[in-house]
Amino acid sequence: MTTYLIRRSLQGVLVLIFTSALIYGLLNLTPGGPIGDVLQKPYRTTAERNAAVRAATIRYGLDKDIVTRYLFWLYNWDPTDNNNPVYLQNTYDAAVQEMTGTTDPARKGSLQNIISTYPPLIASANKALATCSNLFDFSSLGSCLGIPRNGGIITGNWGTSWKVATGTPVLNLIFGRGAYTDNSSGVAVPHPSERWRSPLANTLVLMSLSVLISLLIAFPIGVYSAVKQYSATDYALTLFSFFGISMPTFWFGLILYLLLGIQFKTWHDQGASWLPYLPTGGVVDDVSSTAQYSDIGIRIRHLIMPVVVLSLSSVAGWSRFLRASMLEVLRQDYVRTAWAKGLKQRTVILKHALRNALIPQVTLIALAIPVLFGGAIITERIFNYGGMGTLYFNAVGQNDWPLMMSILIISSFLVVISNIIADIAYAIVDPRIRYS
Amino acid sequence: MATNANNVNELDNREPADAIKPSENGANTPVQHITGVGGGVTGDSTDYIMRVQNLKKYFPVRGGVLQRVVGQVKAVDGVNFDVRRGETLGLVGESGCGKTTVGRTVLRLLNPTGGNVLFEGRDLTTLNAGEMKKTRRNMQIIFQDPYSSLDPRVPIGQSVGEGLLIHGFSREEREQTVRDMLKRVGLHPEHARRYPHEFSGGQRQRIGIARALTMHPSFIVADEPVSALDVSIQSQVLNILKDLQQEFKLTYLFIAHNLSVVEHISDRVGVMYLGKMAELADRDELFNNPRHPYTQALLSAIPIPDPRIRRDRIILKGDVPSPLNPPSGCRFHTRCWLAQQICSDQEPEWRDIGSENATAHPHLVACHFAEQTKVKGLANEIKEQLGTDTKV
Amino acid sequence: MAVATTLDREQIASAKEESQRSVIWRRFRKHKLAVVGLGIIGTLTLLSLTAQLWTPYDPTVPGFNSGVQAFANPGYSNPSNGDIYIMGTDNIGRDVLSRLAYGGQISLSVGLLCTLLVAIIGTIVGAISGFFGGFVDTVLMRIVDLVLSLPFLPMLLALSIVLGPGYWTIVIILTAFGWPGTSRLVRGSVLSLRNLDFVEATRALGASNTRIITRHLLPNSLAPIIVDATLNVGGFIVAESSVSFLGFGISEPASSWGNILAGLEDVARQAPLQLIWPGLLIFLTVLSINFIGDALRDALDPRLKL
């Protein structure tokens, strides 16, 4: 088992490296790439445009080949670190380039400043670099460059957001800490935690609740359908699960939103004051109120619809799956023996049958986690729920690379981890499985 | 051929080696004559259809963090035997002893890890794909499980005729042969259009036999062909095999774990233990005068259907060791009641100790103490008690 | 003996096949909902394919604008020119009925095309991997693992941006993410079959690998492949409409059931019932496909006698 765990983890790391390379490579195929908006800006002269493009190209290292860029991103990615000679050199080159096309005197001044002050900085940083014998040696590079905390994503530097909240470290956005400027509104957000309260945590809350609710509903349905196979209830439940599996999440979400959020409120306002209605979006009612974030009641009201929407297909799928495996188990000889011994129905079903029927279910649940993460994008988009889905949706919409890459890596990590968990959980619940 | 309804007989009459005459194969490989330890027979002029020399088949076992090869399952580990033209060579042994692997490897359905298989004088292990395909016409296999040996999605006529299709026979020839063959194994030619699930186990086994015979092979590996059948059908299938052997001049390598069946059908019998050949001799010689302790144990274990008779059985101690890590020296020494130091130190030679009957074939055995293991009349005693002195 | 009939293998085979088919159809028919589903799918496909013939308006051109608002409720009749919009118009005044019909062409064809491509690629890869094993298998299955460990929906959105949103982009991306599942399925099936005696027997007869794979292994794996493909159609339709709904799939002015819904979402507060149509079409299509898939699973079950 230990050997298996080690091998499985090594495989996981390998898969993550390959996936990240694949994702990085694919994203780099974008026309215009990360400088898409630099290309689209209006410029007074062609020379100015060329200079700006050239500057951005150098700044983001786009003149390097893709492998170098990937490695740079992996373990040495920080375009704003003053101890990073590559960054300094890039900035300097970009300034020199831009100088030739710039007519704006203010801009000229700041460029001149870079050109005059950077060479000594570059020289000293390069001197530090010269002591690093091997650029591809992950362990020594950070310390010999004097940038131990800025060594690319593998050392925890995930870069800064380009567009969604320019200049804010991506991890701060994901974990909801530190201050930043929201680009879409242009408003400086001093305490983002009050607004976001960690998108990652929000999404995890949404997902865990969804898994919990799905299990609580799916298990009784599955067991009941199997025990009362071919009864009217079984047919009705089967039909329900078919509906659930076939229902497009976004449509179901919109209908709930319109009915429980909008229509109920309309009726409520029109006099049916007994009628409750649900908030149509957000994590809390009032984003400016710090207190609301810790008000469980408010949080739960905002979670009801997203959780229901996210759970629908897993409830349907899991109950159907459990029904099938229960039916399989109920046919086994040891269950028949249990009946023959005269055990109570409850004991036979729960202790002998269900326990064994749950074994394949474990894998299913673990593997559903990445699917739920995908579903969260749609659900959060509909209910404007401040989680990873919304963050990712904004990042993709605004072409915010570091944010996109980071969230993609996190979700790949989630996939790999859930695969490993599925295998391990399977080994734990099923004593017949022996990994070596 | 197509116009001749009796073409089966016509085809029978051709020389078994017909299809792989050098001229037909395009290659003029000289027939290799390898003597010596190969069969333990020297300088005789017997017509061998197959000679197996030091055959090995290992299956790798992977493990550890990097899934390296950490061991080899030595399913077959240096087996030597000859098959004479027209005979039935029985191969017996416990399950897992490698007899099935021998059957698959001599047909090159599995590629051997080492050793040679000379078929009609040519080394099968060196043939390329094209030559192998031609050679396959002359060597066929009959399987144990009549349920998995026929493709459930293909009408049996098509299954039986597939070999002919592969080897480029015309449709008329195929249909004619399929019909004749089905008739020959006791099925209606009209059954050709039916699917395997419409037949019983015994019928399916006969379809399998028909499939093997359509190409008129000279050599057939019968891999436990009756083990999966009801006892009532076993003799029926065995008799068909015997009749066909005479009619088509077939040579059988008959693999089985049931000694009575082997005794019924074989001319010579080989006994395998843990990937090695323990003993090989004429049937009567082996049953009357077993020399390898393992053979003796096997023979003494034949059940006697008479509760009044008491016989001393040789009960082997322990379990069969793992072929992953076989015992040193003689593989049987861990369970042998005669074992001495030499047995675990030195591997016994595969040697001819001579038959009781001077006209018989060599009596080959791999045991250090073969000369001292004579058990007078053991098999006779068994036979008398069983009343199974079946003459062919 | 009188062997009267000449065996015509081809004829017999086709006769037998016919009867096999009729057995499958008989078992399929027992599932009433699947038969209804087949009818629904057939009708929707027919209506979509003939959209050019019967739709009243150009689906891409905004035909209605009252000056105050561009959208119209279902059944709206424009008093100025007498145009009638049975299902109303969307946020910029395009006829919803026409857009749904044309959108059906895209949504259904994306689903079918991706399924076809996935079935072909998945079957080839799975068969090669399962049959040859060893190094080839290791490499192919590692690729499969890799693709399957990419987060599906997030990658879908990102790749759509990278390749530029559009019909073929969606087809390529969905196919790229779809084939590994099928290839695993086919590989598993081939693995379980390849050591069966009938495969050995065929090899002993001198059959080539290609013959063994195409004549014996794949026909025996057909049932799971067909069921998998059927269910894939629904999956791809939902995936396409999700991505289009989020704005990264089929881009305007072309319509798909997903992006029509996105357009109607803008006017949801004024005309909430409008939202029913596109979603209902997706739902009905996928539901029908799931019923059909379930019925096929039963009808093709190899454990039952044919």
Domain ranges of chain C: 31-61+97-299
Question: Which residue carries 């396409």 as its tokens?
Answer: C240
Q: Is A436 on the interface with B (CB under 8 A)?
A: yes
Q: Is B381 on the interface with C (CB under 8 A)?
A: no
Q: How far apart are CA C105 and CA C102, in angstroms?
A: 5
pLDDT of A190 strictly over 80: no
The amino acid that residue A106 corresponds to is: A
pLDDT of A182 strictly over 80: no
In chain C, whose CA is at the least distance from the CA of B107? C204
pLDDT of C135 strictly over 80: yes
| Mean of the per-residue pLDDT values of chain A | 79
Q: In what order do the strands lie in the sheet with B114-119?
A: B68-84, B48-63, B114-119, B122-123
Q: What is the tens place of the pLDDT at every residue in C184-209?
A: 999 999 998 988 899 999 999 999 99
Structure tokens at A224: 């009941």
Per-residue model confidence (pLDDT) at position B243? 92
Q: How many domains does chain A have?
A: 2
Per-residue model confidence (pLDDT) at position A179? 59
CB pairs under 8 A between B and C: 97
Q: Which structural domain range is residue A348 located in?
A: 197-429
ipTM: 0.85
Per-residue model confidence (pLDDT) at position B351? 87
pLDDT of C275 strictly over 70: yes
Q: Chains touching chain C at 3 or more Cβ pairs under 8 angstroms?
A: A, B
Q: How far apart are CA C39 and CA C295, in angstroms?
A: 14
Min CA distance, B138 vs chain C (Å)?
9
- A94 vs A136, higher pLDDT: A94
CA distances from B174 to B2, B158, B165, B180, B218 (A): 8, 9, 7, 10, 19
Residues A239 and A368 in one domain: yes
Q: Looking at beta carbons, which residues of chain A come within 8 Å of B64? A: 3, 7
Give, as one character, the DSSP assignment of residue B138.
Answer: T
Q: Looking at beta carbons, which residues of chain A come within 8 Å of C146? A: 15, 18-19, 22
| Mean of the per-residue pLDDT values of chain B | 80
CB pairs under 8 A between A and B: 10
Q: Coil, strand, or helix at residue B282?
A: strand
Q: How far apart are CA B262 and CA B226, in angstroms?
A: 11
Q: Is B64 on the interface with A (CB under 8 A)?
A: yes
Residues A137 and A263 in one domain: no
Residues ≥6 apart with Cβ < 8 Å to A357: A226, A322, A325, A326, A328, A329
Q: Looking at beta carbons, which residues of chain B come within 8 Å of C6? A: 175
Q: How far apart are CA C180 and CA C145, in angstroms?
A: 8
Q: How far apart are CA C247 and CA C237, in angstroms?
A: 15
Pick the residue of C3, C189, C198 with the most B CBs within 10 A to test the interface with B by mutation: C198
Per-residue model confidence (pLDDT) at position B381? 52
Beta strands B88-92 and B268-273: pairing type? parallel
| Mean of the per-residue pLDDT values of chain C | 84
Q: How far apart are CA B4 and CA A417, in angstroms?
A: 70
- A64 vs B180, higher pLDDT: B180
Residues A109 and A239 in one domain: no
- Strand-pairing partners, residue B343, are none
Residues ≥6 apart with Cβ < 8 Å to B360: B281, B282, B284, B285
Per-residue model confidence (pLDDT) at position C109? 94
Q: Looking at beta carbons, which residues of chain B come within 8 Å of A6? A: 65
In chain B, whose CA is at the least distance from the CA of C193? B148
Q: How far apart are CA B356 and CA B373, in angstroms?
A: 14
Contact criterion met (CB < 8 Å) for C241 and A248: yes
Q: What is the tens place of the pLDDT at every residue in B21-50?
A: 433 343 444 444 434 444 444 445 578 899
pLDDT band at C277 (very low <50, low <70, confident <90, very high): confident
For the beta carbon of residue A50, count every other beta carbon within 10 angstroms: 15
- Strand-pairing partners, residue B48, are B84
pLDDT band at A136 (very low <50, low <70, confident <90, very high): very low
Q: Looking at beta carbons, which residues of chain B come within 8 Å of A7? A: 64-67
Q: Looking at beta carbons, which residues of chain C come within 8 Å of B188? A: none
Mark which of A151, A184, A207 sits at the end of a domain.
A151
Min CA distance, C117 vs chain B (Å)?
25
Per-residue model confidence (pLDDT) at position C89? 80
State phi, psi for B341 to the nearest 5 degrees.
-55, -45
Q: Is residue A129 part of a domain?
A: yes
Contact criterion met (CB < 8 Å) for A27 and C158: yes
Residues A104 and A204 in one domain: no
pLDDT > 90: percent of chain C = 42
Residues ≥6 apart with Cβ < 8 Å to B292: B271, B278, B279, B332, B365, B366, B367, B370, B373
Q: How far apart are CA A304 and CA A213, in angstroms?
A: 11
Alpha helices in A352-400 (DSSP H): 355-383, 388-397
Widest CA span in chain B:
69
Q: What is the tens place of the pLDDT at every residue in A75-124?
A: 664 444 556 666 677 778 778 877 877 777 888 888 888 888 888 887 87
- B383 vs C112, higher pLDDT: C112
Q: Chains touching chain A at 3 or more Cβ pairs under 8 angstroms?
A: B, C
Write down the domain spans for chain B: 3-148+217-229+250-386
Contact criterion met (CB < 8 Å) for A10 and B65: yes
CATH match for B3-148+217-229+250-386 among 3.10.20.30, 2.40.10.120, 3.40.50.300, 3.40.50.970: 3.40.50.300
Q: Is B66 on the interface with A (CB under 8 A)?
A: yes
Of A251, A258, A370, the CB nearest to C282: A251
Residues ≥6 apart with Cβ < 8 Å to B32: B118, B121, B122, B123
The residue count of chain A comes to 436
Per-residue model confidence (pLDDT) at position A110? 82
Structure tokens at A216: 């609580």
Give, as one character, the DSSP assignment of residue C216.
Answer: I
Mean pLDDT, rounded, for A236-255:
91
Contact criterion met (CB < 8 Å) for A7 and B66: yes
Q: How far apart are CA C241 and CA C239, in angstroms?
A: 6
CATH architecture for residues C31-61+97-299: Orthogonal Bundle (1.10)
Per-residue model confidence (pLDDT) at position C168? 93
Q: Is B63 on the interface with A (CB under 8 A)?
A: yes
Structure tokens at A169: 């470290």
Q: How far apart are CA C255 and CA C234, in angstroms?
A: 18
Q: Looking at beta carbons, which residues of chain A come within 8 Å of C268? A: 254, 258, 262
Q: How far apart are CA A305 and CA C78, in angstroms?
A: 38
Pick the residue of B4, B108, B148, B151 with the most C CBs within 10 A to test the interface with C by mutation: B151
Within the 7-36 window of chain A, which residues sit less than 8 Å (CB to CB) from chain B? 7, 10
Q: Looking at beta carbons, which residues of chain A come within 8 Å of B67? A: 7
Beta strands A187-189 and A180-182: pairing type? antiparallel
Per-residue model confidence (pLDDT) at position A132? 53
Q: Is A46 on the interface with B (CB under 8 A)?
A: no
Short-list B52, B20, B11, B19, CA closest to B34: B52
Residues A221 and A100 in one domain: no
Residues A145 and A286 in one domain: no
Short-list B118, B112, B152, CA closest to B49: B118
pLDDT of C213 strictly over 80: yes
Q: Is residue A271 part of a domain?
A: yes
Of B132, B152, B190, the CB nearest to C220: B152
Contact criterion met (CB < 8 Å) for C211 and B166: yes
Pick the residue of C36, C141, C143, C155 with the most A CBs within 10 A to test the interface with A by mutation: C155
Residues A311 and A228 in one domain: yes
In chain A, whose CA is at the least distance from the CA of C279? A251
Q: Provide block-wise average pLDDT over 10 residues at a time, chain B (392 residues).
A: 41 40 40 40 66 91 76 89 92 88 92 91 89 91 90 90 91 92 90 87 92 92 89 89 92 91 91 92 88 88 72 76 86 86 88 76 87 61 48 33
Mean pLDDT, rounded, for A254-270:
87
Q: Looking at beta carbons, which residues of chain A come within 8 Å of C294? A: 242
pLDDT > 90: percent of chain A = 14
Residues A306 and A239 in one domain: yes
Per-residue model confidence (pLDDT) at position C284? 94
Contact criterion met (CB < 8 Å) for C306 and B189: no
Per-residue model confidence (pLDDT) at position C302? 58
Q: Is B140 on the interface with C (CB under 8 A)?
A: yes
Q: What is the tens place of the pLDDT at every residue in C55-93?
A: 878 887 777 766 667 777 777 777 777 777 777 787 777
Structure tokens at A432: 């017949």
Q: What is the pTM of this model?
A: 0.81
